[in-house]
Structure 1
Amino acid sequence: MDNFILTEKKITNTELETFEQEIGLTLPESYKKHILKYNGGTPEEKDCFDEKVIAHFYPIKYGKYPLEKSYKTLKDSLPQDFLNFAYDEGGNPFCLNLKSGKDYGKVYFCALDEGDVEAELLADSFKEFMDGLEEDPDF
């Protein structure tokens, strides 16, 4: 896995559990491990998935615009039970589908600048998403 820069203060397991309770959704284990290790930030080198460049991952609890705040802002614009965990340079979110069932844990890209939000499937899991990150070919 790539190193991350511009991360926030590390969160505890208790703070992560509190976040899950606040949003009423259960996070995938691979995402929990990631957020406990980095808490937001930007991939240092591999920041691109399927030609979509990640500008930043949202931190939980800390920073100017933590996930709690951005989730409340975007919740009604996104498909039900989607959690925006990162965004591209245009502010379009990368999301986890946290609805229980066969699509739980899948990663989607949601373009918000085209009126209706269309969720584009990127990966079957957060781990697959992270493992598939590559260097931006245009950088």
Structure 2
Amino acid sequence: MRLAIEEPEKKLTPDEFFEFQQLVGKTFPDEFRDFYLENNGGYLPESVQPSPLLFSGFIPIKYGRVPIEKTYYDLVDDFPELKNMIPFADDEGGNCFLLSLRDKDYGRIYIWLMDEKELGFVSQSFDEFINALS
């Protein structure tokens, strides 16, 4: 199902997404790439309130005040165990939803609970995560 997103940042080009992928050094799942080429960050429409999963919004790549790149490096700097876990969204409590690019659980979605410093499983794939928000 297609998810309507409001207030995305500047649209990414395929080359910009490729540069981001090169920066991270990992290949992203196709559904993640396709979503970000269509919606670079943004929020669910108010009609979806209250938000499933206490979802707040998607973090943009490259553009915006705090893009994924900065969020990722800050997170890994503080929590090295989160290497190859890409923060792509946050919840209303300031926790990050993470896409795993690790070999052992590639493509799965987790939430990093900041206060507890704990990783919680959310879904098997990015598509499953998107469907849960619809």
Hey, what does 1:72 align to over in structure 2? 73
Hey, what does 1:21 align to over in structure 2? 22
Deviation per CA, 1:44-74, whole angstroms, max 9, x where unpaired?
A: 144744xx21111111111111111111111
Give the alignment of 1:49-128 within 5 angstroms.
Answer: 49=52, 52-76=53-77, 77=79, 79-101=82-104, 103-114=105-116, 117-128=117-128
Q: In 1, Cα distance between the equivalents of 2:132 and 2:42? A: 18
Greater share of residues in strand: 1
Deviation, structure 1 residue 27: 1.0
Greater share of residues in helix: 2
User: Percent of pairs identical after alignment?
Assistant: 37
**Is the 1:2–1:46 contact (alpha carbons within 8 Å) kept by the matching residues of 2?**
no
Hey, what does 2:130 align to over in structure 1? 130
TM-score for both structures, normalised by structure 2: 0.88
Deviation, structure 1 residue 118: 1.7
Hey, what does 1:33 align to over in structure 2? 34
Number of residue equivalences: 129
**Is the 2:7–2:43 contact (alpha carbons within 8 Å) kept by the matching residues of 1?**
yes
TM-score for both structures, normalised by structure 1: 0.85
**Is the 1:97–1:108 contact (alpha carbons within 8 Å) kept by the matching residues of 2?**
yes
Q: In 2, Cα distance between the equivalents of 1:27 and 1:54? A: 22
